[in-house]
């Protein structure tokens, strides 16, 4: 390969940050497209109180792409543990919103933060519109937002999710990056509240359909309380494909090591590592390996995951 391959990863929260943190050490032109529907914790409070876009998932990806994860990056990720009004807030969230005030908009705030943290790549919101995620539950009721959907989803199951309002405009820069990508990675992350919301934006979905890049889905290493309890890897792929439109996947990446099994239901159900012995799912080839974080077995290990993605990409390069 004579030029740096253009890799675009799509998702939100911890999952997308994990992919970016691992791949930043490889010779790529790397970008992350981030969901903007977070309404929980610090992001949700700031969005409701100040009428701003939720900064949390963007913050995580900026920190993940920092060239040197030094004290400055730790400061960006610092979360206050006490103090009236400030407890629970991430300093990075507050800095992003302060920069948005200083520079004039959220897009410029991301650019400024990227320079401060000297990130290796780009962080791009999937939309700059104010959007929420709404789910129809198994009992016909509706649940609004990332906070309520898992709680009610545990009780009744999730039939489907939509954006509110439904006609959110895609970030044109994100669309451009998708159109010019060599590899597009979808996931890992919360299926209904981190991954699928990006695919509900018409411009993002259309760009994926038109893109000639190879497309990889990173299956979660475990089920998730309230969203995908008792889901198999195959069920994850099935639900994802419902929202991909005409987009065809080229590969599914699956963890093949099971560390944690839980029989404890807890408030939002039990979770367990998942894998599959299938060589393909719905006609999509499967590649598997030990990509689990042994210290946090419900999550991927960023180094092992990046190595497997890179191996799959290089082996398929013309």
Q: Which domains does the chain have, with CATH numbers?
A: 1-32+171-318 (3.40.50.10680), 37-125 (no CATH)
pLDDT at position 262 is 56
pLDDT at position 81 is 78
DSSP codes, the chain? --S--EEEEEE-HHHHHHHHHHHTTSSSEEEEEE-----SHHHHHHHHHH-PPP-HHHHHHHHHHBSS--HHHHHHH-B--SSTTTTT-BHHHHHHHHHHHHHSSHHHHHHHHHHHHTBSSEEEES-SS--EEEEEETTS-EEEHHHHHHHHHHHH-EEEEEEESS-PPP-HHHHHHHHT-SEEEE--S-IIIIIHHHHTSHHHHHHHHH--SEEEEE--SB--TTTSTT--HHHHHHHHHHTSTT----EEEEE-----------TT----B-----SEETTEEEEEE--B-SSSTTSB-HHHHHHHHHHHHHHH--
Closest listed residue to residue 107, CA positions, set 90, 132, 129, 88: 129
pLDDT at position 84 is 74
pLDDT at position 46 is 66
Which pair of tokens denotes residue 234?
Answer: 């195959």
pLDDT at position 77 is 80
Q: Which residues of the chain have pLDDT under 50?
A: 1, 263-268
pLDDT at position 265 is 45
Distance CA 22, CA 19 (A): 5
pLDDT at position 45 is 67
Closest listed residue to residue 91, CA positions, set 67, 116, 65, 119: 116
Q: Summarize pLDDT for 296-309 with one digit per residue, the tens.
A: 888 999 999 999 99
pLDDT at position 268 is 47
Which pair of tokens denotes residue 157?
Answer: 């199951």
pTM for this one? 0.92
pLDDT at position 197 is 95
């Amino acid at each position: 390969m004579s030029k740096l391959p253009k890799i675009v990863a799509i998702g939100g929260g911890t999952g997308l940050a994990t992919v970016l943190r691992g791949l930043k050490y490889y010779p790529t032109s790397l970008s992350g497209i981030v969901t903007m529907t977070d309404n929980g914790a610090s992001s949700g409070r700031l969005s409701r109180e100040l009428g701003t876009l939720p900064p949390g998932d963007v913050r995580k990806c900026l920190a993940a792409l920092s060239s040197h994860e030094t004290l400055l990056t730790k400061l960006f990720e610092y979360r206050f543990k006490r103090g009236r009004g400030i407890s629970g807030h991430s300093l990075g969230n507050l800095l992003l919103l302060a920069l948005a005030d200083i520079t004039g908009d959220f897009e410029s705030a991301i650019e400024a933060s990227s320079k401060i943290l000297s990130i290796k790549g780009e962080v791009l919101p999937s939309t700059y519109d104010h959007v929420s995620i709404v789910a129809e539950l198994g009992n016909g009721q509706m649940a609004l937002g990332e906070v309520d959907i898992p709680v009610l989803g545990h009780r009744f199951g999730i039939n489907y999710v939509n954006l509110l309002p439904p006609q959110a405009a895609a970030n044109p820069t994100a669309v451009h990056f998708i159109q010019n990508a060599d590899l597009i990675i979808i996931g890992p992350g919360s299926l209904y509240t981190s991954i699928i919301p990006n695919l509900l934006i018409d411009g993002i979905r259309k760009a994926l359909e038109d893109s000639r890049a190879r497309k990889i889905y990173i299956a979660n290493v475990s089920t998730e309380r309230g969203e995908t309890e008792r889901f198999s890897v195959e069920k994850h792929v099935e639900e994802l494909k419902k929202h991909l439109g005409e987009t065809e996947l080229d590969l599914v990446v699956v963890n093949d090591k099971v560390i944690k099994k839980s029989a404890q239901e807890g408030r939002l159900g039990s979770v367990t590592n998942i894998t599959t012995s299938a060589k393909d799912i719905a006609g999509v080839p499967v590649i598997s390996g030990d990509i689990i974080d042994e210290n946090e077995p419900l999550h991927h290990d960023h180094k092992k995951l990046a190595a497997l993605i890179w191996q799959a990409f290089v082996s398929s390069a013309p």
